[in-house]
Amino acid sequence: MLQRESLMFRMNWTGAGKMKWRNGKRSGRLALSLLLTGAAIAWSLALAPAFAWAQEQPAAPSADSATAAAAPSATAETTPLGDSGPASASSAAPVSTPAATTPSPTAIAVYPSSIQLATVRDRQSLVVQLQWSNGVTTDATTEATYQIADPAVAKTDGATFFPVTDGTTKVTVAAHGFTVEVPITVTQATADPPISFANDVMPVFSKAGCNTGSCHGAARGKDGFRLSLYGFDPNGDHFRLTRDMLGRRINLAVPEDCLLVNKAVGAVPHTGGGLLSRDSLHYQTLVRWLNVGAPNDTGPVPAVVGLEIFPAGAVLNGPDEKQQLTVRAKYADGSDRDVTDLAYFMTSNDSSALISQEGLITAQARGEAFVMARFDTHTEGIHVVVLPKDLEFSWPEVAENNYIDTLIHNKLKKLRVIPSEVCGDEQFIRRVSLDICGIVPTGDEVRAFLADTDPQKRSKLIDRLLERKEFVELWVMKWSELLQIRSTPQVSYKATLLYYNWLQERISSNTPVDQMVRDLLGSEGGTFTNAATNYYQAEQDTLKVAENVAQVFLGTRIQCAQCHNHPFDRWTMNDYYQFAAFFSQVGRKAGTDPRETIVFNRGGGEVNHPVTGQPMPPKYLGGSQPDTAGQDRRKLLAGWLAAKDNEMFTQNLANIVWAHFFGRGIVNEVDDVRVSNPPSNPELLAALGKKFAEYNFDFKSVVRDICNSRTYQLDTQTNPTNESDLNNFSHAQLRRIRAEVLLDVISQITETQNKFRGLPTGARAVQIADGNTSTYFLNTFGRATRETVCSCEVKMEPNLSQALHLINGDTVQQKIQQGQVIDKLLAAGKSPEDVIAELYLRCRSRFPLDAELTALRAGLAEAPEPKVFLEDLFWSLLNSPEFVFNH
Amino acid sequence: MMQRFGTPSSLHNAFLSWLASGLAFLSCFAVANFFAVANCFAVASCFAVEGDPLTTLTSDPLPDEEKVTFEDHALPIFRARCAACHNPDKKSGGLDLSTYTNLMEGGSSGSSIEPGDPDSSYLYSLVTHDQEPYMPPGNNKIPDAEISVLKKWIAGGALETKSSKAKPKKKAIGAATGSSLERPEIVAQPPHLPLEPVLHTPRPGCVHALATSPWAPLIAVAAPQQVLLYNSTSLQLVGVLEFPEGQPNVLKFSRTGQLLLAGGGRDGASGKVVIWDVSSGERLTEIGAEVDSVLSADISLDHSLVALGGPQKVVRVYSTADGALRYEIRKHTEWVTTIAFSPDGVLLASGDRNGGVFVWEADTGNPYLEMRGHTDRIMDLSWRLDSNLLATASQDATIRTWEMENGAQVKSWAAHPGGATSLEFNRAGNLVSNGRDRLPKIWNQNGEALKQFAALSDVGTAVAYCDETARVIAGDWLGQVQVFAEADGAQLGSLSPNPRPLAALLAEAEQQLAAATAAHQPLAEQFAGQQKQLNELQTTLATAVTNRQSMMTAVTQLEQQVAAAQQQLQVRVGEQAAWQGELDQKTKLKPELQGLAEKAVAVAALSPGDAELQAAATQLDAKLKQTEARMSELATALAQNVELRGKLEGELKAVGDQLAMQRGQLDEAGKQIAAWEQQQAGLDAALKERQVALQQAEAIRSAAQAAVSRWNGEIQFVNGLKQLLVERQTAEQLVGERMTAQQAIEQELAAVQQRLDAAKAAVGEATTGQESVEQRIRTLKGMQ
């Protein structure tokens, strides 16, 4: 009760509307509502439900000792861990040695492993990383010594190497008694190739941020000057720089005093400020280009084909620890180049790892970060772990139910995080029922489950739930969202229903997903006779169809690449239009029924690149270029897409399933797979994807694996090591129940029925076929309108109007009145206390706690009539965060 | 430093000469102080020379005793760092930092400056990043040196100007009379102007602007920090006008050709319009204080108004009489790229980067017409001389013409694929234009192409037409300016927007002179050698001819001899034949005769007495004897004759041989002479050639010589002019200071006078009071 005062305080200013509504009721109600709804208002107002609920938890302690005993978490304000990176940091091997031993250096790693220097301007910097016995790494670049075997071939300035004459030699790097030899090859040592606009000058604009969307890369430019966003159009940029505004931006007569340079160095007022200093390499590049007449490249220049970022990873020991990065680009002509000074650095989590634009990481608070470098169209990153300084850590023996737990624990060991305890049976049965079937267990089910002593009772429950029809309905609903099943001017209501039925048939018959996708994407015929063709009716724009396919089935958003190369991913405009070309030959003609359209393969039609105007041959996204002659391109694509060896596809589906059960994808959001948003646990994602393929794309098997894992069954209660972890599934997350399920559950508990358009009375909200069918309740709680394929369509964020709707709206109160549950229970001869227990079991899947019971008894005693009091209690329980959240 | 300030003595002389020039209105005390000031100044400059000039400038840019003022110190910082947002057009946060008044008014956050207290000044705390929003936004702090200047300025009371500051005097711009259609009586021609470029760069920049004088063969070419004047006939540089404000973006001659206007500045930083008097090359005035470069400008027919525009999207029209802003036009939604007063001065047309074209009443700025049609930015516009037709060139590739009754489009034609960049109406009413297709063209008013000129080296940026010489001048992005003849389209030459420094030209001329001299020297020597050779040959030839003459005479003589000898021989042969005949006769007759004689003797003997017979016998005998004698004589003569003949034949042979020899020699000599004559002819021709070459080399040499002396002269001229200008400036400054001082003293004097008057009045009053008191005392006493 320690928070009662604050609850009352909150009540005083937020509950005004409710008080008005309840005017004339007895005061006992108010007291009860204070106790039980204050928290509800809290979750809505704080807009951070997870923490709000965690804070309220002690106020309403549960029977579960693990959560009841824990102190309130005071870390709502602490910064959460950001997106995590791949565990590619070889140096960050998990170590569970006792903390007592003093760590000692075990090796040095030198990056890159060889140096190629070509042409007089080339250089290459090395990074030296010292690895310690406890897995920590330190940057030894400056303290290391560098001995070049043949100084006639190459020279060094610190850790940076420059060519002298053609030849090969090696550098011996020594630090802490370890030595590593790095071979050096120098070619064309005296060649001074002409400056290239695309390869030398444009990267300066990218590095300085000139061509970003918030600056001159905006569609209409900035302050009258436009550059192509992230430099997708070098020729256009050259024109705009040189000859667009004749005689303004550059002045070949006085290169150092022209507008471009003056703005860049801040010599004249510039909205973007001074971006280059006059003694920087970037400035020199710019002026060198101007001094030779600002030429454009006369022919194609070698394209960047790859980017490497060094070191491979880092585990930093405490705040302010630093690590320098080196970035190397590889070009199509086989050359490479140190682009550390030209790469744009980003971090996924700057509260753990700050990255300077010079490529220097500075560790901050404990956590992990994916630190990235962008150059040209490429983005690469490394995984950085920041530990508290000289952390003492030992890994307890934690049970592992299956491969999921093993892989999760591997990651947690690396982070020195201990997972929470396993949740109690009450929590489990509620969580698993909601997640698998979108229902809450009945009071009897809870009683039976709690009484069951079978050690396998959890997995048996899972198996039982998987066989229920509600499981199918839940996934039909999820797929309906992904396939945008909704009536539109193009898709008649009849077609919508047929489409929905088609989907339902597939899922209820447990059709493997790959088969379903092939049927869908390769569909031909009338939208009535073959409802799968509605996929091409719901969205008729070739480019949009391609975008949707990529987003839904591959989890990647390629929309950016329609107008410019993707800034944070590897997709270029070529990739985009080559992928879209698979859908360029979809034909549509009217059927006999005016509402029907017949979708067919035209066998002709191309997609043109908007900059070059050239038709783009179809190419799988990130894959090969098939021979499409004489074939239905969509069928080819479906064959490639829905294949067991297509990791993008299998992992994406696995991730969608995972996210459903954890409220968060291994890649999060699930449809935002990109280089700069790596999976928090790539090994796990890979394993799940592989399993999915192994199970022949059977959903149920994957769900079974997930629900049986210890990781799924963890408590929401945190321990000191995992309290700030949001990405690595070291404890369960509080998740607001999604709109349809919440409505269904309220209806289930209150024994009432809903009526939705086109469905019989009593149908559940998850069964709604048409995305356009909705209610105020569903809209308020963020039901997907299915207008787009974005995972963001389903809004899971709590907000004030949701809380107010539950409190004041017509749903909860009306349903309590309609269902007359209290009356029925009392009529069945149950005592008020039995009713209380029944209500608790229905709403919270648990018995009331002693403290709760004491308070309720007191209230009951004060109440003139038990029914009113029990209704108030029912109302309060339905408004409590413990009900609204899945935990 | 020495050059900048001049030596003490030269300064002194300058003052003397300036004094002598008759500025005698200064009062005596001013003159008395004058030398002291001058000396102080000279001494100060000496000190400055001694120290390292750079460190003296930078180590403490603000000597403590110097007043830090808005105009001198703070404004330049505001302009450079803040004016992009806090200008009269944008007024971010309601604050305008372009003038002292507006600054002190403050912005929407209240007052920006608390004079005397930097730390409480809102502006200062934002600039130092003590308070948010940090200024300038998104930027690093402005340099500490500038912050400290602002601090000193505020701490010093945030003064506006130094009270003693002498304002630079602007020269008046005379009002122009006449119309743009008639040639002025006196056509302004530039005087001797400096040819020293302000700036010479490794490569030229884009040609921003070109202009031609309406009445003189004069072309103005824009270049960084300068305007170059070229003669359109000779295509020679005739003057450099300094534009230290930055890059001129627009050039216009006034309608009379009397003034030249340049608008420009530093892109993104500052801009203004500068006006020169063409006939003196003097900068007359500067107009405007933009926070970005001026892109477009023009001056009205009567010189009373100057309009300018640029990235601020505002057309500002100033009065030239006092430099005051007459009105602003804020209807443009984009950069004002081009502005032109109508030739009659009644209207003002302006075009912008959105394709908007407007015509305003020049006097008031009231809207007159709006021309809708262009779909892309307006690059240039030009009025037909009768002011009834306006032509516009746009990035949308078209040139359009518009009438001035309703603003309707008259014609539109795709003139330059990619974009028309520049155009101008000529006196004949034809349009010359340039564009991104690199092809300068001339059109009639119906849009029919009359001529297309050779392609430029890059995108065409500017064009002008010289009515005086019927030439088209076109500039491009690479900095090439080509001159074409309108008549036949011939490319006549090019103008450099990047002329070389005089010193470089001199050095080159000197090098050329050296080269020419070096080339001339061997030529002259060779010529002399050949001349001598020829002379010798001629002498030899003459001798040979003489010799041949005498040889011919000798041959003739010999021939005569031969003839004589042959004649003699003939005689001898004749004689011999006669004689031999006679002898033979005699010899034949002698036996007969002998016989007869013997017979006669015998007969006589027989008839000794027969006298007759005897006589006959004797006669016969005598006859015989005579015959015998004769025979003997003949024999002798024959013998002699043979001998003689032999001798003669010998002689003849000898002479014949000699003759043959002589004849051979003569032949030889003839051949020799012919050869020599040929040689002589060759030599002669070569010599003539050589002479031409020599003359050419001489011409080159003298041209180089002339160039050297010309550039030397120009350099001297520039230096002399520079010196004079420095002197004039110094003198003017001092006059200004003295005048200010005089005014101050006069004010002080007036104040003192006032006080004196007041004191006098007070004394008078007191006296009156005293008198009245005394009067009253007296009255009182009287009463008593």
Residue ranges of chain A with per-residue pLDDT less than 70: 1-101
Q: B163: pLDDT confidence band, cut at 50, 70 and 90? A: low
Element (H, E) at B732: helix B611-783
Element (H, E) at B122: helix B122-127
Q: Which residues contact A411 (CB under 8 A, 6 or more apart)?
A: A87, A680, A681, A683, A684, A728
Amino acid symbol at A333:
D
Q: Are A108 and A128 in contact (CB under 8 A)?
A: yes
pLDDT of residue A793: 87
Q: Are A324 and A347 in contact (CB under 8 A)?
A: no
* Residue of A503, A621, A637, A629 lying closest to A556 (CA atoms): A621
Q: Which residues contact B659 (CB under 8 A, 6 or more apart)?
A: B555, B558, B559, B562
- The 8 Å CB, 24+ separation contacts for A824-827 are A824/A751, A826/A866, A826/A867, A826/A870
Q: Are B572 and B645 in contact (CB under 8 A)?
A: yes
Tokens of residue B675, six digits: 């050869």
Residue A844 to residues A62, A277, A429, A815, A836: CA-CA distances in angstroms?
A: 10, 63, 10, 18, 11
Quote the CA–CA distance of B430 and B453 in Å, as a whole number: 15
Tens-digit pLDDT profile for residues B612-652: 777 777 777 777 777 778 788 888 888 888 888 888 888 88
The CA-to-CA distance between both ends of chain A, in Å, stands at: 21
pLDDT of residue B587: 80
Q: How far is A255 from chain B (nearest CA, A)?
A: 9
List helix spans (H) across B21-66.
28-50, 53-58
Q: Are B477 and A246 an interchain contact pair (Cβ–Cβ within 8 Å)? A: yes
Tens-digit pLDDT profile for residues B397-413: 999 999 999 999 999 99
Quote the CA–CA distance of B525 and A498 in Å, as a whole number: 111
Of B199, B268, B436, the CB nearest to A259: B268
Quote the CA–CA distance of A402 and B134 in Å, as a whole number: 56
pLDDT of residue B42: 36
Quote the CA–CA distance of A56 and A58 in Å, as a whole number: 6
Q: Are B280 and B266 in contact (CB under 8 A)?
A: no
Q: Which residues contact A24 (CB under 8 A, 6 or more apart)?
A: none
Quote the CA–CA distance of A87 and A385 in Å, as a whole number: 10
Taking the CA atoms of chain B, what radius of gyration do you get in angstroms? Answer: 56
Q: B2: pLDDT confidence band, cut at 50, 70 and 90? A: very low
A259 touches chain B (CB under 8 A): yes
Quote the CA–CA distance of B87 and B96 in Å, as a whole number: 5
Q: Are B489 and B451 in contact (CB under 8 A)?
A: yes
Q: B65: pLDDT confidence band, cut at 50, 70 and 90? A: low
pLDDT of residue B322: 84
Element (H, E) at B751: helix B611-783
Tens-digit pLDDT profile for residues B544-579: 888 888 888 888 888 888 888 888 888 888 878 888
Is the complex ipTM higher than 0.85?
no
Q: Are B353 and B378 in contact (CB under 8 A)?
A: yes
Of A242, A268, A271, the CB nearest to B269: A268
- Rounded to the nearest integer, the mean pLDDT of chain B is 84
Count Cβ atoms below 10 Å from residue A713 Cβ, excluding itself: 21
Return the residue in B267, B291, B376, B422 with the most chain A beta carbons within 10 A, the one to mutate for interface testing.
Answer: B267
Provide residues of B within 8 Å CB-CB of chain A: 80-85, 136-140, 199, 201-208, 223-224, 247, 249, 266-269, 291, 293, 311, 335, 353, 421, 436, 458-459, 461, 477-479, 498
* Residue of A302, A282, A298, A299 lying closest to A290 (CA atoms): A282
The conformation of residue B70, written as its DSSP 8-state character, comes to I
Chain B residue numbers touching A268 (CB-CB < 8 A): 80, 84, 266-269
How much of chain B is in helix, strand and coil states, percent to nearest 5?
Answer: 45, 20, 35
pTM (two decimals):
0.74
Of the listed ranges A366-370, B87-91, B231-235, the least confidently predicted one is: B87-91
A254 touches chain B (CB under 8 A): yes
* Nearest chain B residue to A244, by CA: B395
Chain B residue numbers touching A254 (CB-CB < 8 A): 199, 201, 205, 224
Tokens of residue A370, six digits: 């994916």
Quote the CA–CA distance of B334 and B330 in Å, as a whole number: 10
Quote the CA–CA distance of B421 and A282 in Å, as a whole number: 33
Q: Are B269 and A291 an interchain contact pair (Cβ–Cβ within 8 Å)? A: no
pLDDT of residue A26: 36
Chain B residue numbers touching A252 (CB-CB < 8 A): 203-206, 478-479
Chain B residue numbers touching A210 (CB-CB < 8 A): none
Quote the CA–CA distance of A179 and A177 in Å, as a whole number: 7
Of B83, B247, B478, the CB nearest to A251: B247
pLDDT of residue B173: 80
Residue holding tokens 């008395």? B32
Return the residue in A216, A246, A260, A288 with the most chain B beta carbons within 10 A, the one to mutate for interface testing.
Answer: A246
Q: Are A251 and B206 an interchain contact pair (Cβ–Cβ within 8 Å)? A: yes
Tokens of residue A71, six digits: 């102190």
Quote the CA–CA distance of A313 and A433 in Å, as a whole number: 40
Quote the CA–CA distance of A501 and A483 in Å, as a whole number: 13
Q: Are A246 and B421 an interchain contact pair (Cβ–Cβ within 8 Å)? A: yes
Tens-digit pLDDT profile for residues A808-830: 888 899 999 999 999 999 999 99
pLDDT of residue B584: 81
Tens-digit pLDDT profile for residues B120-139: 888 888 888 888 888 887 66
Q: Are A191 and A120 in contact (CB under 8 A)?
A: yes
Residue holding tokens 């080819």? A636
* Dihedral sign of CA atoms A336, A339, A342, A346 in order: positive
Quote the CA–CA distance of B2 and B726 in Å, as a whole number: 12
Count Cβ atoms below 10 Å from residue A298 Cβ, excluding itself: 9
**Average pLDDT, integer, range B504-531:** 89
Q: What is the DSSP string of A521-566?
A: HT--EETTTSGGGGHHHH---HHHHHHHHHHHHS----GGGGTS--
Of the listed ranges A509-523, B229-243, B248-262, B680-694, the least confidently predicted one is: B680-694
pLDDT of residue A50: 37
Q: Are A268 and B204 an interchain contact pair (Cβ–Cβ within 8 Å)? A: no
Q: How far is A261 from chain B (nearest CA, A)?
A: 11
pLDDT of residue B122: 87
Q: What is the DSSP string of A425-494?
A: HHHHHHHHHHHHHS----HHHHHHHHH---TTHHHHHHHHHHTSHHHHHHHHHHHHHHTT----SSS-HH
A243 touches chain B (CB under 8 A): yes
**Residue A191: helix, strand or coil by DSSP?**
coil
Q: Are B138 and A268 an interchain contact pair (Cβ–Cβ within 8 Å)? A: no
Amino acid symbol at B294:
V
Q: How far is B80 from chain A (nearest CA, A)?
A: 6
Q: B736: pLDDT confidence band, cut at 50, 70 and 90? A: confident
Of B139, B202, B224, the CB nearest to A251: B224
Amino acid symbol at A786:
R
Tokens of residue A182, six digits: 């790095």
Quote the CA–CA distance of A381 and A83 in Å, as a whole number: 12
Quote the CA–CA distance of A281 and A275 in Å, as a whole number: 12
Quote the CA–CA distance of A809 and A743 in Å, as a whole number: 13
Q: B63: pLDDT confidence band, cut at 50, 70 and 90? A: low
Chain B residue numbers touching A271 (CB-CB < 8 A): 84, 137-138
Return the residue in B79, B247, B353 with the most chain A beta carbons within 10 A, the one to mutate for interface testing.
Answer: B247
